[in-house]
Structure 1
Amino acid sequence: MTFAAESAARATALAIFQAGVAAADPAACVGNYLHTAGDQLAIGCDGNIRSGNWRRIHLLSFGKAACAMAQAAVQIIPQTWLAAAGIAVTNYENAVAVDNVQVFGAGHPLPDQAGLAAAEIVVDRLKILRAGDLVLALISGGGSALLPCPVAGVSLADKIATTQLLLASGANINQINCVRKHLSRLKGGGLARLAAVAELHALVLSDVLDDDLSAIASGPCVPDDTTFAQAIDILQAYRIWPEIPDNVKNHLLEGNRGLHAETPKTGDPVFETAGHHLIGSNALSVDAAVAAAKSSGYATDLFSKRLSGEARMVAERLCLHAQAVCTGLDRPLALVAGGETTVTLRGTGKGGRNQEMALAFAIAAEAYGLDCRWTFLSAGSDGRDGPTDAAGAIVDNGSLARIRAAAIDPAAMLNDNNAYPALDAANDLLKCGATGTNVADLQVLLLHPNA
């Protein structure tokens, strides 16, 4: 592939990714589902509408898209209908001033004291609710870490240690959230329980596979049918139970014996006046990426809307699929996927699941002899991959050569979970900054026939 062709393919892959991100624009998504008509606030679209003349609306927005969602809401809802200034809790990178909204920056992916303080403010707001009020919850991915509200007897440090162990173990997001729900006053339907005296409606921007509302931000406004016993089983299955803080283990064991209230389940009366709408998702962003690829002149192949599993293994599967479709390839083809992979930490390096997947794909492409010109992008829709400043990476046929030219062994770096410096040496890191949204990850693989 010539330098010019390589650059053009990389630019196209980036444009396709950006189209997927744009489809999850939080402000536009809120605007599609929130309207005023006379003295009524209407929530929903396409005939699925909930409306009322609420005059004490409590606006709570949390997650990586909190500020953009709150901004859209306050532009639609008359200020006189708000009971007080809204509350928005987001990651530091996405924190911006919003009129008539208190904005709090907090830690992600690990919770911090700022998030704890913001959570206490949210709980205090829920304490002043009265019948006839509406709690409008604007929820996006990342809310689990950003709004930590530990149960009595469990400290924030305990929750952080537990979360770190889960993240490093390879547990998936649903498993991590199961544990977090049983250590929180807000997650797993906890917010709905605290808001039960009033009416509640959530507008949700999904960052999880299958758009499971109980998993997004750990499901603060919907039933949670997981149990204390399941939380214990997860920690034991990943062999991290012995390392879990004693306060956490004691709370889970006591809950399993019925000494603490379970999270509210399906059919619980606290949900009688609660509703929700899913306003954006990874699946919709994948559809937008596919459309953008078609507009760019590519034939398209939807590889998966539910990408999951160990990042390096998923990369190998994608490579094998690409190898199969490359046979007889007579026009450019775009393979598009979305979802959320996992990484089991075995090394001490720096990176994230998208960087690991990109490096693993380049290694697999060489190992299997992928016989076409290819460009692969894997990135987080929020603009951040793991604890790094990169969203992910864009690799191509020349990536491994560029890494080796810097005297770096790609396979050794992958084995050390150290994709970041390897990709940095190849100038393959994708750094786009915080996007203001979060609907999991997107993958774009462009295949071109050999000249």
Structure 2
Amino acid sequence: MVQDTQIFLTELFEVAVAAADPRETLVRHLPPVPKGRAVVIGAGKAAASMAKAVEDNWPGPLEGLVITRYEHGLPLERIKVVEAGHPVPDAEGARAADDILGLLEGLTEDDLVLCLISGGGSSLLAKPGEGITLEEKKAVTKALLASGANITEMNTLRKHLSAIKGGRLAVAAYPAKVVTLMISDVPGDDPAVIASGPTVPDMTTSADARAVLEKYGIDIPSSIDTFLNSSASETPEPDHPAFAKAQSIMIATPQESLQAAAALAASKGITPVILGDSIEGEARDVAAVMAAIARQVKFHDQPAAKPCVLISGGETTVTVKSEEGATGRGGRNAEFLLALADHLDGLAGVYALACDTDGIDGTEDNAGAIITPDTLERASKAGLSAKEYLARHDSYSLFDGLGDLIKTGPTRTNVNDFRAILVL
């Protein structure tokens, strides 16, 4: 039975990922071949697979460049694929961003720019604003990642420290027509937040970016302070003519992936309950709430009768405080699961999986992990204290010791986190 439940949860995750595969979702959204040039650009964890879907199905001449995370590339013939740093930007991403801007020079009204955007693009399109060095931007990015800032807050700051995001890429492509195909990895599927919205109007201001820095107490060098005080840090106005010629199309969303998993569960006689596609908050706090819902199902058959599976998406955060002396390994999904196991405290008949749909939980080599009713018991027998590992954000090491990590390798798509809690 335990093995069957683990297979079931893994199948739900696989179906969720497959629902966001660009090879299946992108082709029907391709625009007509233009009179002039067709230039493909893009950035994100799914950039290479999106570019391959375009290249395999485009009926006319094609050229371009996309940027993806290291080990997420694919061999293409007409579109160049560059691998770069994520979640912290690096020089490869900065050079590739310059090359993308070079491809957009001299375009005309007869030309088409097909922009392929997915989660991770903010770090990969690494072109800092004037006067800001890449090292300075990397330092701010690292501070943000450890602060507990949510993705909307992070991308608000990124847009106003960039020379390419926040709509600036659409302006660079003008007067060509820009069609952006997007895979959403953000709560609410806001095109302006996905990869910091390089081709869509931005409604935030430099003051909003400063507010994020102040909220999380992030120190900045004088160059960033100077840039945020300049007009260059403001993103293009929404009424810029470039946006009148720009179109954004969502080709995959977290909700569609959750629905695919729910359909599979229902087909196997397990009642699916989708709790939400945009759940945010500290991973540990979300785990406490999810544990309470699981208990409600277990003891009261609410909000659904057993057997049922609680399915959710979104993006939790992990705040690493210096006083904790955290030296461990583990992404937000593994931390969520370890906290969930702690709250469930061996509750019989409850199993859970949490994975990042891109196949990488944080910066580790696992997509996520899985827990069973005996997770804490097995950990204790192995000399592993769940509370101690959780305290130092070392969930990866504990699940690795138990053999409960899930490793898929890069999936080359990204619709954020996938969580499934099975209650029998």
TM-score by length of structure 2 reads 0.95
Are 1:360 and 2:353 counterparts? Answer: no
2:161 equivalent in structure 1: 183
Alignment of 1:19 onto 2:15: yes
Tell me, in whole angstroms, the C-alpha distance in 1 between the residues paired with 2:33 and 2:270.
Answer: 47
Q: Would you say the 8 A contact 2:34–2:111 is kept in 1?
A: no
**Matches of 1:72 and 1:61, distance apart in 2:** 13
Work out the percentage of aligned pairs sharing the same amino acid. 40
1: distance between equivalents of 2:35 and 2:5?
A: 51
Distance apart, 1:146 and its partner CA? 1.0
Q: Secondary structure at the match of 1:304?
A: strand
Which of these residues, 310, 332, 337, is aligned with residue 335 of structure 1?
310
Offset, 1:363: 0.2
Give the AA of the match of 2:343. Answer: A
Q: 2:111 aligns with which of 122, 128, 133?
A: 133
Equivalent residue for 1:303? Answer: 275
Aligned positions of 1:36-435 closer than 5 A? 43=31, 51=32, 53-80=34-61, 82=62, 85-240=63-218, 243-252=219-228, 254-255=229-230, 259-260=231-232, 262-329=234-301, 331-346=306-321, 347-366=326-345, 370=347, 372-435=348-411
Determine the structure 1 residue equivalent to 2:25.
29
Asked if structure 1 preserves the Cα contact closer than 8 Å seen for 2:330 and 2:395, the reply is yes
Q: Which moved more, 1:104-113 or 1:261-270?
A: 261-270
SS in 2 for 1:221: coil
Name which of structure 1's ranges 269-278 and 354-363 shifts more when overlaid on structure 2: 269-278
Choose which of 424, 430, 442 in structure 1 pairs with 2:418.
442
- Displacement of 1:328 in angstroms is 4.5
For each residue in 1:294-316, what CA deviation from the matched residue of structure 2 results, as whole angstroms up to 9, or x when unmatched?
12220121122221100000000
Helix, strand or coil: the match of 1:376? strand
The RMSD of aligned alpha carbons is 1.4
How far apart are 1:269 and its partner, in Å? 2.1
Output the amino acid matched with 1:426. Answer: L
- 1:122/1:410 Cα in 2 relative to 1: closer, same or farther (>3 Å)? same
2:294 and 2:227 map into 1 onto residues whose CA distance is 48
- What TM-score do the two structures reach when normalised by structure 1? 0.90
Q: Structure 2: which amino acid aligns with 1:99?
A: E
> Are 1:162 and 1:245, in contact at CA under 8 Å, matched by a contact in 2?
no
Amino acid at match of 2:342: I
**Conservation of the 8 A alpha-carbon contact between 2:177 and 2:246:** yes
8 Å Cα contact 2:297-2:306 kept in structure 1: no
Whether contact under 8 Å (2:129, 2:233) holds in the other structure is no
- Paired residue secondary structure (1:244): coil
Partner Cα separation in structure 1 for residue 53 and residue 368 of structure 2: 28
Verify the 8 A CA contact 2:180 2:248 in the aligned structure 1. Answer: yes
* CA positional deviation for 1:264: 1.6
CA distance in 1, matches of 2:79, 2:33: 22
Shift of 1:131: 2.7
Task: Give, as a single letter, the amino acid of the residue that structure 1 aligns with 2:13.
Answer: F
| Secondary structure at 1:162 match in 2 | helix
> Counterparts of 1:419 and 1:238 in 2: how far apart (Å)?
24
Task: Work out whether residues 71 and 99 of structure 1, in 8 Å CA contact, stay in contact via their aligned partners in 2.
Answer: no
2:77 alignment partner, SS class: coil
Question: What is the CA-CA distance between 1:391 and the residue it aligns to?
Answer: 0.7
Structure 1 gaps of 5+ residues are: 35-42, 44-50
Distance 2:110 2:163 in 1: 23
Cα distance in 1 for partners of 2:404, 2:220 equals 37
**Residues 338-381 of structure 1, C-alpha deviations (whole Å, 9 max, x = no match):** 11111101222111100100000000001xx74x4111001100
Give the whole-Å Cα distance in 2 for the aligned partners of 1:327 and 1:265: 54
1:38 aligned partner: none
Mapped to 1, the partners of 2:22 and 2:292 lie a distance apart of 35
Structure 1 distance, partners of 2:34, 2:28, is: 19
Displacement, 1:331?
A: 3.8
How many Å separate the matches in 1 of 2:317 and 2:205? 23
Report the secondary structure of 1:263's partner residue. coil
Render the CA deviation track for 1:134-180: whole Å, top value 9, x for unaligned. Answer: 11101111111111011110111111101100110000001000111
